[in-house]
Every structure is written in C-alpha cells, then in structure tokens.
Amino acid sequence: MEINEKWIASLTKFETDLIKAYLDISDSKKSDAIPEIDEPVKIKECVHCKSHKIICYGHSKKGRQRYLCKDCNKTFTIISKSFFKNTRISYEQWLKLLECEMIGSSLKETTYQANLSVTSCFYLRHKLYKAFEEAQAKKLKKEVQLDTTFLDISFKGMKATPRPIKGSHVNPESESFPYMKDPQVCISTAADEDGEILFLISGYGGESSGKYQLHIDHYDQRCRIISDGSSSIRKFCKDNHFRCITLTEGYHKTKDGKHISDVNSLHSDLKDLIRKKRNVSIRHLQGYLNWIVFKRRFIIQTKRKLYDRIYQKQGKETQKL
C-alpha cells in the first residue's frame, strides 16, 4: 500500500489532524517533495489546564504560533502534548512508519524502511498508538453489539512491577494487581450500526456489570444492546433501562438476523495481534486496542468510499442508457 499526499487527502478531518497537521518538520529537512503544512486546527483551550483564557504569544523557532494561558501562565503550541512533540524525524520517515504499521511490519522491517533504530521505532509506535485513543467511540447509538474478552496479564518488559501470585495469599506489595486465582485482564467490546467502536480495558478478573458501568458515558440512552445472554450484561441493561436483545444459546443469530459478529471479529484481530507480537505488556495493551479500532474504522471508511464510487459509476451508465 502506497501512502502519499493523495491518500492523506482522502482521510477524515480527525485522521488528517493526527497524521498531517501536527507533523513537526524542521526547516533543514524541507524540500520540494514536502508540501508546506498549515495549522488547520484552531486552539481554543489550554493543553495544560483546559482553560479558555488564552492569547497569542509570538512564534516558536520553527515559526509555529505560541499561546499563553492567563490562568496557569504556561505557554504551548499546536504540537504541545501531542505524539509529534520532541521527535526529529522527517516527513518521509513519518509516512514510512505509518505505512509499515498499516501493513503490519515487524520492528526490524520498520527499522530498515524508515532508517531508524529499533528503540526509536518502538517508542514512536506507542506514541502513535496512544494518540489514536481519540478513535474510540464517543457515543454508541441504535443497536449496539456488546461482549467481553479476556487475556492473561503480561508483565513483558516491566521489571519493577509487582506480580500477582497464583494460588497463594494476597501479595501485600501489590496494590494495582490484587490476588486472583487466574490473573486476567477484562476487555469490554462494543460496536454500533454506524461503525463506531469501543474497545477498552475494564479491569482485572472476571466479567461483571460494574465493569460495563465504567463506560456508561459512551452509550446513548436510547440504544439497544445485543449480547450473548450474559447475566452481567443483562444486569447492566436493567440498571440503565436499555433494551437487551439476547442470542439463543447455540445460535449465532436471532430470528430477526441480529448478531455480535462485529465484536467477535475484533476479538479475533486482538488474538492474532497478541500471537504475532508474542504477547503484549499490560502497559501497552490499551494502545494496541486503540490501533485496532483506528484500523477497523479506516477499512470501513475506505469500503464506503469504494462502494460510493461504484454506485456513482453505475448510475452514470444507467443515465446514458
């Protein structure tokens, strides 16, 4: 897959803001092949304290507009607290890094393609994944498929983190991970008709209505929940007055054709990713979930644009006849 300016222009405003508007290109690396990038996003609040009392405060060394917050007296620019902050790679390297992530390249392959070190590629990958938390659904509407999946807790790369002990007494040094017979992380998954997806870590241990309640702000009050009949989901729907559509045991669809195949597909993507990465550390797991959501949204939008072009072409041919 080739990523170029034409591809970037086809993205939504959210995706364009992340990929294009915040690119920090130094003057020494600009060339005819690298277009001038304006600042399409207008700053309305302070990135530090979220205050709206901000004023323009000169420009940075690279020509970016600086702002001053009158409440906290801190200055910032459009890239402050963004994943492009404190990175010095070129425009081409960012595009190559994004291309490698889209096709699922390994770190060694990305290192060769982007001409970066393995450490830099790993660091930039997770900065990118963290930024895509905005891809998570703000509001799930209409018919919402809801289910949960579980993964074994992995402390890969975490040397100083206390580990829960299986089959023993509570570890007094562990506050973040209390005693569990089978330590697992619980991941709530929801998807609606419009392609909005919620893929978030809900806690540790087994499924419960309380874990679903943590993300209640992401659900519209009039939505209908489609599930596999879990008692926790039924209680969650009852507490929030949602209509619950339950699949018959042993069947993948209801008589009306309702299903939860979309969330099951997300679970399959996660399991494939875990297998390919040879397990994922708990500190990076949410980032990978964000990336899966962004990638799925991108595929859905691409298919919609493709279908629109096909229908428009067929309509023009019909009019000629």
Give the model confidence (pLDDT) of 196-221 as tens digits.
999 999 988 888 999 999 999 999 99
Structural domains in the chain, sorted by start: 5-41+78-134 (no CATH), 136-302 (3.30.420)
Tokens of 262: 């979309």
| Helix-helix angle 118-131:107-114, to 10 degrees | 100
Provide the Cα torsion 140, 145, 150, 154; round to 10°.
Answer: -40
**Residue 168: strand, helix, or coil:** coil
pTM of the model: 0.72
pLDDT at position 33 over 50: no
Tokens of 108: 């060694």
Per-residue pLDDT band for 6 (boundaries 50, 70, 90) equals low
Tokens of 156: 């890969």
Q: Which residue has the higher pLDDT, 110 or 16?
A: 110
Of 136, 97, 185, whose CA–CA distance to 290 is shortest? 136
Sequence-ordered strand ranges (E) for 25-99: 54-59, 65-69, 75-76
Q: What is the mean pLDDT of the chain?
A: 78
- Hey, what amino acid is at 170? V
Residue 238 to residues 209, 233, 234, 245: CA-CA distances in angstroms? 10, 9, 6, 12
Tokens of 196: 């909005």
Dump pLDDT digits (tens) for 80-117. Answer: 766 666 667 776 787 788 888 888 888 888 998 888 89
**What is the C-alpha separation between 279 and 189, in angstroms, rounded?**
20
